[in-house]
Amino acid sequence: MNFQFLKYEIDERVATITFNDPNRHNAISSVMQKEFRTAIAKAADDKDIRVIIVTGAGGKAFSTGFDLGAPDIPQGSIADWRNREAANLDFCYTVWACSKPVIAQIEGYCLAGAFEFAQMCDIRYCSEDSKLGAVESRFSAGVPTLALPWIIGARSRELLYTGDTIGANEAKEMGLVNRVFPKGRLRAETTKIAKRMSMVAIECLQWDKRAVNQTYEIMGFRAALAYGVEACAMIQGIMPREQEEFERIRLEKGVKEALKWRDARFKNYE
Q: What is the pLDDT of residues 43-62, one digit of tens each?
A: 999 999 999 999 999 999 99
Element (H, E) at 31: helix 30-45
164 and 73 in a common domain: yes
DSSP label at residue 91: H
SS3 30: helix
Quick one: pLDDT band at residue 73, thresholds 50, 70, 90? Answer: low
25 and 82 in a common domain: yes
| Higher per-residue pLDDT: 63 or 244 | 63
178 and 123 in a common domain: yes
CA dist 49 and 14 (Å) reads 6
138 and 88 in a common domain: yes
The model's pTM is 0.93
134 and 262 in a common domain: no
Q: 244 lies in a domain?
A: yes
pLDDT of residue 76: 65
195 and 248 in a common domain: no
Q: 158 lies in a domain?
A: yes
DSSP label at residue 135: G
Q: What are phi and psi of 103, to 5 degrees?
A: -105, 125
pLDDT of residue 233: 87
81 and 11 in a common domain: yes
Rounded mean pLDDT of the chain?
93
Q: Is the dihedral of CA 73, 79, 85, 87 positive or negative?
A: negative
Tell me the average pLDDT across 19-43: 96
Q: 225 lies in a domain?
A: no
Q: 88 lies in a domain?
A: yes
Q: How many domains does the chain have?
A: 2
> pLDDT digit string (tens) for 111-139?
999 999 999 999 999 999 999 999 998 98
Q: 52 lies in a domain?
A: yes
263 and 175 in a common domain: no
Residue 192 pLDDT greater than 90, yes or no: yes
Rg over CA atoms, the chain: 18
Q: 209 lies in a domain?
A: no
Instruction: Show which of 156, 180, 202 is a domain's final residue.
Output: 202
Q: 127 lies in a domain?
A: yes
Q: Which domain holds residue 264?
A: 240-270
Residue 94 pLDDT greater than 60, yes or no: yes
Q: 220 lies in a domain?
A: no
Taking a C-beta distance cutoff of 8 angstroms, is the pair 26, 3 a contact? no
267 and 185 in a common domain: no
- CATH value at residue 70: 3.90.226.10
Residue 189 pLDDT greater than 80, yes or no: yes
159 and 46 in a common domain: yes
171 and 37 in a common domain: yes
pLDDT of residue 247: 84
pLDDT of residue 93: 97
17 and 75 in a common domain: yes
Angle between helix 241-253 and helix 255-266 axes, rounded to 10 deg: 140
> pLDDT digit string (tens) for 194-253?
999 999 999 999 999 999 999 999 999 999 999 999 998 888 888 888 888 888 898 889
